Structure 1
Amino acid sequence: MGTFSIWHWVIVLLIVVLVFGTKKLKNMGTDLGSAVKGFKDGMRDGAPADQAQVNQSTQQSSQTIDVETKTKS
């Protein structure tokens, strides 16, 4: 029961196609593919720029002033 045969996967795929339809599945696949491609491009191209943004934000956060409120006793 732990492993499924090819026929189990064919039936599951058939049910998914019947529920969502082929056009919806094609759109979801295209969206997922473009998201993965964009993520890979961003990781390859944007890594040094992201590090500069992190360094700038940590410098700005170290310049903030922490003010404590006094409670009335």
Structure 2
Amino acid sequence: MENEKFNIKDSLKKLEEIINWFEKQKEMDIETGLRKVKEGAAIIKESRKKLKKLENEFEKVKEEIEEIDDFEGDDFREGQDLQ
């Protein structure tokens, strides 16, 4: 899964398919069930990594915006002092 382009939307869809598979089973095939659980766990792990990466990117952009706001605020205050 790591080699593929990871997409959270597609991952959620795949998790839903796994859940639906379990819900439809009248008699559980243990080996297939275990394989599905492992697949779901891998998807969840990759989703968490991706979400953490996105969160970090969001925080970085937020900090950059705050720095711009602080800088522009300083210029504005300095301009007022000159009057």
The alignment's TM-score, normalised by the length of structure 1, stands at 0.37
Bigger relative CO (Cα 8 Å, ≥ 6 apart) = 2
Q: Please report the TM-score for the alignment, with normalisation by the length of structure 2.
A: 0.33
Larger Rg: 1
Q: Which has a greater percent of helix?
A: 2
